[in-house]
Structure 1
Amino acid sequence: MSTIHLLEIEFANNGQSQSLTPVLLQDEHDTILVDCGYPDFMGLLEEAVARCGIQLDSITKLIVTHHDIDHIGSLAALKRTYPQMDIIAHELEVPFVEGKQKSLRLEQAESSLDELSGEARGHAEQFIHFLQSLEPAPVDQMVTHGEKLPWCGGIEIVHTPGHMAGHISLYLATTKTLIAGDAVVMEDGKLAIANPQFTLDMEEAIHSIQRLLTYDIEQIVCYHGGLFQGDAKQALRQLILAHTSKG
């Protein structure tokens, strides 16, 4: 029997209150963390897992949905502190997580710099420096679409590109749960596309949501927004319809 813990982490960012929802999966053999927040999130993660009666040093695996800094910012620090923790990522994400290729988010930010001026350019330059500070980490296991990991009742890898090319979501068939990463987010109680300006390929993002409809999903956990309450499949259909009608 496996347990799903939603680690709702609240923090201040540039004077504003924000929250992220990493997920912790646990069975009698493994404790698996999905995504790990910004740099210097170790203390916040420690507090969040402690509320579930768990300690960070008991985590055996860390699954990365994609290489954005709010998802892997503390990855290197966690691996350094707990080297027994295996890091798992989609094959397309591995060179970015390991720092062998420049972050796609960094490329996007740099490419937009010439179009900006004044205060907007200053904010963009700050963001670029922030992205450049991200410490790479070694990946222990690569995964691909459709792969079924045997831990915590079974974890199916769902390749959901769009936000980033190697983005994955996780499907837990035993509880009909989708851990969405940034494939979808919650805004005002509704599902939405994660920051359209940061979605590298919107058409792919919509195709990914269509792919999700092939799974028997009853609940969706969004990294931004937490647990979606309601008819998950109908909400996904409405999201597709809203974006295809715009096109």
Structure 2
Amino acid sequence: MLVVPGVHRVPGFTNSYLIESGDGTLVLVDCGFRGRVDKIVQHITALGHTLADVTDILLTHHHLDHTGGLPELSRRTDATVHAHAADAPVIRGQAPRPGADRSTWTGRLAGTRIPPPARPAHVHAELTDGQTLPPAGGIRVIHTPGHTMGHCSFLLERDGGLLLAGDAALHLGKRVVPPIPLALNENLRAVRDSFDRLGRLPFRVAAFGTGAPIAREDQPCWRATPD
């Protein structure tokens, strides 16, 4: 499903994205649940590519619905896997999941049980805020902590700008909102700050981990002039 020229959505409960770099290679953003691997492979094939064309896998964060398919996709593509330094140890299985923000009763109830853990997988490169990755003419890393403390969004600055928000924002119905339910967020104050930061970025279209892409002018909360 085409989002903007050269960027394709693999729709599902959690969206993944395929970015064409222009040199015959692909970047995969998020891997979905373990059972989504075949769907992602089908989309790669439909674009006229093979798994060998996937050179980079970018992870927005460590949750199971974004990393469940990572072990298999990493093995089958031999791609470089990127994640923020705060989430990388969790993805590798070297650190426990931090769990929900305990300032709310739902967070205290959820603890570290929600969401369930993913299988450990390799992370080869740790992302930092403001870093620009070379593929596809440049992909800017935007550290958007809160949902997890290592959550990252990605900004393609070509063609007016495409924001890949991950789960720092959700498109539900006709609204773009911060990530819910609250019990799945590690730091609620950071969630709100990151959501506001996204609205100040220069982009024409936003795409999400949950929900369909949307044009900036169609969303009142993000109509303000970006910084």
TM-score by length of 2: 0.84
How far does the alpha carbon of each residue in 1:176-226 deviate from its partner, in whole angstroms, 9 at most, with x for none? Answer: 110000010111121012212212222111111222233211110011002
Higher helix share: 1
Matched, 1:38 2:41: no
**1:6 paired residue among 2, 5, 9:** 9
d(CA) in 1 for partners of 2:61 and 2:154? Answer: 12
Distance 1:217 1:113, change over 3 A: closer
Match of 2:209 among 216, 223, 226: 223
Note the C-alpha offset of 1:56. 2.7
Counterpart selection for 1:112 from 93, 109, 112? 109
Q: 1:200 pairs with 171, 182, 186, which one?
A: 186
Task: Report the Cα offset of residue 231 of structure 1.
Answer: 1.3
- Is the 2:100–2:183 contact (alpha carbons within 8 Å) kept by the matching residues of 1? no
Residue 58 of structure 1 is matched in structure 2 by 53
Give the alignment of 1:231-246 within 5 angstroms.
231=217, 234-236=220-222
Cα shift at 1:104: 2.6
Aligned residues: CA RMSD: 2.6
- Determine the C-alpha separation between the residues in 2 that align with 1:149 and 1:90: 13
Q: Give identity over the alignment, percent.
A: 24
Count matched residues.
214
Query: How far does residue 173 in structure 1 lie from its aligned partner after superposition?
Result: 0.9
* Secondary structure of the structure 2 residue equivalent to 1:25: strand
What is the match of residue 94 of structure 1? Answer: 88
Other-structure match for 1:212: 198
Give the superposition deviation at 1:32: 0.4
Paired with 1:95 and 1:72, the residues of 2 have a C-alpha distance of 13
1:136 partner amino acid: P
Gaps spanning 5+ residues in structure 1: where? Answer: 10-18, 115-123, 239-247
C-alpha spacing 1:107/1:48, structure 2 compared with 1 (3 Å):
farther
CA distance in structure 2 between the aligned counterparts of 1:7 and 1:163, rounded to whole angstroms: 22
Name the CA distance, whole Å, in 1 between partners of 2:69 and 2:45. 17
Report which of the two structures shows the higher radius of gyration computed on alpha carbons: 1
Q: Secondary structure at the residue paired with 1:170?
A: strand
> Quick check: 1:177 aligned with 2:162?
yes
Task: State the one-letter code of the partner of 2:141.
Answer: I
Cα deviation for residue 167 of structure 1 reads: 0.3
Q: CA contact under 8 A between 2:24 and 2:53: conserved in structure 1?
A: no
The one-letter code of the counterpart of 1:64 is L
Change (3 A) 1:226 1:53: farther
- The match for 1:244 is none
Q: Deviations over 1:26-76 (max 9, x none)?
A: 121531000010123221211233333333332111000000000000111
- Mark the runs of 5 or more structure 2 residues left unpaired by the alignment: none
Provide the residue aligned with 1:157 in structure 2.
141
Letter in 1 for 2:156: L
- Whole-Å Cα distance in 1 between the matches of residues 218 and 186 of structure 2? 24
Q: Aligned equivalents of 1:57 and 1:85: distance in 2? A: 8
Shift of 1:8: 1.5
In 1, the alpha carbon distance for the partners of 2:216 and 2:100 equals 36
Alignment of 1:9-28 (within 5 A): 9=12, 19-27=13-21, 28=23
- 1:15 is matched with none
